[in-house]
Every structure is written in C-alpha cells, then in structure tokens.
Chain A
C-alpha cells in the first residue's frame, strides 16, 4: 500500500512545480528580443497603422508586468491591466489565447496536433522500447561475446546518428515507395475510413523507423547495464543452482528487477511525448506539436508557445508523478524514505 502522506507530498510538489512553470512560461518568451508583430510579417504590406492595430488587438501595447507609473499614482486598475494579468486570467478561464500567426484558438490548434504527435511518438517509442529491452537483455546475458560487442557498437552508432541525417537518408532510399512527408495524401480518402488509416500508416513508416532507431539504443544501453548488475546478484546464482532454464531466470528473476530503472525512463519519455520529436516531425513534415513549436519559435508566436509549453509541462509533471507512484508500488523500499 502507498502511504497517504507520501502521495500528498508528491501531489503538492507537482502543483507547486506547475505554478512556477505557468509564471516562467510567460516571461521565458517575453525576454526574447525584437517585436513579434514585425517579425511575424517582415512584409511590405504591413503598414504602420496595421502594426498598431494588431498590437492593440493582442494587448501587446499594454505593459508586460505592471504599469509602475499608474501604481505610484494609486490607480490600481490601470496598474494591473498588464499582459501578465490578462494571461493568468485567461488561463484560469481555460482560454489559451489566439495564435498571432494563424488567428486560430490555441486550445483548438493544440488539440488537433496533440493526437497526431501521440500516434507518431507512441508507435515509435513502443518499437524502440521493445527493441531496446530485447537487445539489452540478450547483450547482458551474453556479456562479453560477439553479440554483446555488436549490440554495443551498433547502439553507440545509432545513438550518435543525427536524427535529421538518418531521416533524409531514409527519405531518399524510400523514394517512390513511401511518401516523402505529411500525415495523409491530401484528397485521397475520407477521414476515418479504412483507406484513410491505411494511408496514415504508410506515412507513419519512415518517421517511426527513424524515431525507433535513434531512441532504441538509449533503452538498450540502460537495459543492458541494469541486467548486468542484476545478474551479478546472489539470487541469480541460486536460481542457476536450482537448475532453472535461461528463459526462466531471465523472465522471473533478472527482468523484473532490471525493469525498475526502465520504468522511470519509459514514464518520463511518455511524458515528453506531447513535445513530439521536433526533428522527426520536421524532416517528415509531420503536423504535430514538435513542428508547431519549431514554427512558432521562428514566428515568436507567444500564445502558441505558451500553450505548447504548458501542455508539455503538465504531461511531464503527471508522468513524473505516475513514475513516483508506480515505483513505490513496484519497489517497497522507496516508501521508507
């Protein structure tokens, strides 16, 4: 059983973290130099009047933090009529604002994109985890053999391989066989029909392979060292002495214990899922959160960036909380502290 005060402590900590993130998120993007209105449209068509109009519409004419002059003169209402108070007020009303660039509701944009990213990252990471665990386990069991060396060398190679480079190479190799980008073939099939999902699956192959190849080695290396450690334990020797088969030892004794550090890593990775795989999404033009962040940074689209980072922060915090709780269930020793 999980101790109640342990749980409460973790939840309170998560809430505090979230509050800090909300404040930090706002200022993080405001300290960037430049003028989002001008950056958004380095475009001769934007007259000075129009720039001013846009600034007023998005409240960018207001002070960022508070109006210190109004504060000194005692006009509290004006003093606190700032970009920050508007941000916090809107946030508590569940309103993430309107994108500077596309004028769409940020909540809607994120909602549309998040499941696309989830499809990609979930498929890719699952594949990576399966490969990582299996190869890591095999390498550890056959430690010092050719298999181990090969797994290690290959692991380090793919670990060092730039995602972007691997993606482009795969694109060129699969030219004409698999699509070069996007999530669907536009106009090919009605949404949510079998043909549509088959089309999505075709588009998913290359990004999934790229993501799996570059992430699998991380899981593999951790799995291997974790299993190596466990295999040195006395109870493994005991198991061997009892005459258990290799499969039994690995499954019932080694894997269960070695999986503990893996749980943390898997939970954290899933937390980062919504952040997407910025590089993979950019190479393969996958319309997910990662590409949204990439594009929005270039455009200084504050509302979208704030929304995306908030989403990212919440999911990481939740995943951390989940990992903590799961860990304490799996490993009774954790609760003692």
Chain B
C-alpha cells in the first residue's frame, strides 16, 4: 500500500517537475523574448506602446535602423522637389500583405489618408503639414506638404504603419480606436500575429510572403513578466532567449553568466534631468530664478556618483539635453559645469547669499532661506536614491532641499500651475531631435503641453521654428546646437545622465549584432543575426 502510494505520487509529481521538453524534431525555431510590458492594445490607431514590436507586422515607408540611420522600407527610394514641398516615393514591386493580397502605392496612399482623415490618435501627430497623399501609379506615391520639413524621413514616416484597406474600410467611427481583431495588424511585415493575451504573452509566426526574404526564425514569442528579477532568472534558466530592455539592477547577474548570455549596451535617446521651475507664473522662490543660484546648483551635483549608485554605472553624465545617441546633433562644444562644491560656494558667497543666522542654510536678499522642494516620481525606484544624493550635495552649499518622492499623477497635477521648485525626471525621446527641442518652447507651457519646466523664451522659440523648416542638415544642426547652448545657459534643465539601453540574449542558441541594444528588433533580426 505504502509503495503504491509512493509510486502514484511520483507519477503525479514527476511530470510537473520536468521542464517542457523540445519534443518532436519538426519543432519550429522559436525566439522567446522577455519583457515587462508587451503593449496596451494591438489596435494601430490607438496603441501607444509596442513600437519595437509593431514593425514586425506592418511595414513603414522608411525603416529605422538604430542610431541616426534610416533605411528604405516599403519605399525603395525617394526624391524631393527643390522647394521641399513635393515628395515622391518609389514603392517596391511585388509586395504582398501576409494574406497574399497585393500592396501597391494605392494601398500605401489609402493608409496615410486614413490616418489623416480620421485623425487617428496615435499616428496623426506625425502627419501634420501634409496636404495631399496620392498614388500616381502602382509604384509611385506622392506626398505634398504645406511647408517644407526636415524630418520627413527621420520622424514623420518612421512610425506610420501601412495598414490594410481591406480591413479598415469596414471599421468606422469610434470602432477605429477600439477594433482589435488580429487582422487589425494585417500588413506586409515579416511576422503575422497569431495570439495575444494581454498581460501574458504574444505569439507571431513568420510571413512566407515577406518581401525582404524568409524571416530567420519561424516563431517569436513575447512573454510578459510583472517582475524584473523573475525575468532575469528566466533568461539565466533558458526559459527565454532575449530581453530587449534589461533593467540596470539586473545587468550584473547577466554579465556574470558570460558563458551562456551576451549583454549588449548602447547609447540611447534618453535624458534624466533636474527640472528647475522656470515658469514666469510658477510658485518657485525668486532666488531660484537667479542664474547664479542655478549655476551653483549645477556645480554642486555629483553626476558621476549618481550614475554609479543609482544607475549601477549604466549611464553617462549629461551636459546637454541631446545625448551622443543623436550623432552630430549632440552639441560637443558644451563644457559641462564641473562638480566643484568650492566653486558653487564661492558663486553664492560672491552673489551675497550668506548664512546670516548660522542655521546652515543661506538666505536671499529679502531674508528668505534658500529652501526648495525637491521631488521625483515614484515610477522609477532608483529616483529616490538620486534625489537623496542631490539633496546631500545641495546641503553642502547651504541649500536646503529635502527629497520627496511623489506619485506620477501628483507630479503631473503640479504642472498646469507650475507649483514646484526642483523635480528629477526623465525622457525617452524619438530618434529625431525635433520633439526634444520642442519641450522648451512657450507653446508647450499650456495645459496639456509637454513643458515640465515652464521655460518660455521668444529667442528660443525662434530657434525651434528655424530648425523645423531648415532642410539642410548642417544648417539644422547649427540651429539645434544653438538651442542646446541656450538651454545650457538658462538652465531650465540641469541634464544629469543619459542612461544606456541594455539588451541580453542566450548566446548558446542565437547570435546578434553587437549593437543589438541600439537597434529595433526587426532590424536586428535581418542584420547580423544567426542561429547556432
């Protein structure tokens, strides 16, 4: 009896402990990707996440190849009229949707017009300035603008997916933003969506009709982890093959497993900054508007220490709001304020900010102490450590700024009235610098705008306007360099760090380009990828 029971227990428990085996020989080659968030909705009109995944299903006219590299996508070549208003794109011949129906310039034109006519929430922002889109013949797409733009290739067409008229013709009104049957993402990309369980996983299979050739793996599975540590463990255990975005804290254990895991670390379009409230209507103390005080704060922040402690070293100190990932848009002339507490103290002493009552905090000419509110959002756990370091640094130059972590919504609620002093926050920008330049313009200080500093300077606005019409790259770069210099001088932001993008994969199964962390997954799969 006892033996029988033991045998029974073994029979029940053993299969549970056995890892899922590969099984049959004809098993498809599968790439399993771990992520902490797959996407909100597959609906391309209203999806604000998954911008790395979507190009696997639906092509764009132009493809982003990582960094400042933009390559032909559905359009194999293009030309622009001398006045910069008329663009002609040569669409590849013989392209088919994954269901076998043809995709010509007609479908591409229909798709862009669909975005414009329906003011599709997640995409129409890119297609401002466009007057008409038409197919001149099956391989020629013509776009006419109302004003010349420099970022047609590097931004406007980069994220506008070419959808399928056969699906979207039948979807109208509010349904456009809610329709989420799998054919919502019918396109001409290398993979076809098969299964999406929100919050769990996503499965896609190779598209045999892909114009770029046979996709290198038969199946891609995205698996969502609610917890970073579990995701790292899963890669170490071989349950997943790739993590496209590795958290800083999880990188060391992966580097330690060098025999089975390869880590790729790259520059990224990131910026982490100390925002100094610069709004004329803001509630910041008058002393904070003094350039000397701003300069002293800038000298007092130990960026290297912040990077070592809070970012586990996976960041570089920032001097300007556009980092090295922006290539030659990154202003290398700007010499950052050195971390120098003596210099910071000297600046404040000379400007007459003295600690007259001996409490360790300097006073402004009107007698008010240099006391500032220092906030950070709770959404990134390492922010708490950053503002602690900043607070300690500032204490050493006689500025009191007790650190306080607030919920993201509380911080957003402060913005319309600019009811803050110092806030530590960050951005992940697009490859084109236009958006990053725009957040310091007066136009963004309205309710619903993206200006979190409240900075408003007509001279800066003029620079922004000039770069949005400068067609010549050198000319545009010069203007953007000037804009960076102006922000460096006026200091609505004190840039602190550009954090890295980190990816890691099982090197026992696959091999990726060393630059993997800087590339979108679609590009990485077709360039420098191999199976072992």
Q: Which residues of A contact B (CB under 8 A)?
A: 32-36, 38-54, 57, 98, 101-104, 109, 168, 171-172, 175-188, 198-199, 201-202, 205, 281-287, 291-292, 294-295, 298, 300
Known contacts A50-B124, A171-B233, A182 near B223 by CB under 8 Å: yes
- The answer on a CB contact under 8 Å between A42 and B408 is yes
For A195, the closest partner residue in chain B by CB is B20
Report the interface size for chain B: residues with CB under 8 A from the other chain: 62
Q: Which chain A residue has the least Cβ–Cβ distance from B197?
A: A287
Complex: how many Å from CA A201 to CA B178? 34
Residues of A within 8 A of B198 (CB): 102, 104, 109
In angstroms, how far is the closest chain A Cβ from the Cβ of B110? 21
- Give the nearest-CB partner of A101 in chain B: B40
User: Chain B: which residue is nearest A53 at the CB level?
Assistant: B121
Contact indicator A50/B408 (Cβ below 8 Å): no
A-contacting residues, B219-239, CB 8 Å:
219, 221, 223-227, 229-231, 233-234, 236-239
B9 proximal to A (CB < 8 A): no
Establish whether residues B200 and A180, one from each chain, have CB atoms under 8 Å apart when the complex forms: no
- Identify which of residues 15-51 in chain B touch chain A, using a CB-to-CB cut-off of 8 Å: 15-17, 19-20, 30, 32, 40-41, 43, 46, 48
Closest B residue by C-beta to A204: B16
Instruction: Tell me, in angstroms, the Cα distance from A287 to B40 when the chains sit together.
Output: 15
Q: Mark B396-422, 1 if CB is under 8 A from A, else 0.
A: 000000000001111111000000000
**Given the complex of chains A and B, what is the CA–CA distance between A186 and B203 in angstroms?**
7
By beta carbon, the residue of chain B nearest A206 is B230
Q: Are B122 and A45 in contact (CB under 8 A)?
A: yes
B194: nearest chain-A partner, CB-CB: A187
Tell whether, in the assembled complex, residue B119 and residue A34 are in contact, meaning their CB atoms are under 8 Å apart: no
In this complex, what residue of A is CB-closest to B120? Answer: A50
Q: Does B326 make an interface contact (CB < 8 A)?
A: no
Tell me, yes or no, whether B448 is within 8 Å of chain A by CB: yes
Q: Is B125 a contact of A47 with CB atoms below 8 Å? A: yes
Q: How far is the CB of B75 from chain A (nearest CB, A)?
A: 22
Residues A48 and B121 in contact, CB atoms below 8 Å apart: no
B182 at the interface (CB under 8 A from A): no
Residue from the list A45, A172, A283, A295 in contact with B227, Cβ < 8 A: A283
- Asked if B230 contacts A284 (CB within 8 A), the reply is yes
Q: Are A51 and B448 in contact (CB under 8 A)?
A: yes
A188: min CB distance to chain B, Å: 6
A281 touches B410 (CB 8 A): no
CB contact list, B133-180 vs A, under 8 A:
159, 174, 177-178, 180
Closest A residue to B438 by CB, please name it: A44
Do A45 and B236 touch across chains, with their CB atoms under 8 A apart? Answer: no
10 interchain pairs (CB within 8 A)?
Answer: A34-B408, A36-B409, A43-B48, A44-B450, A45-B123, A49-B124, A178-B17, A186-B32, A281-B226, A291-B226
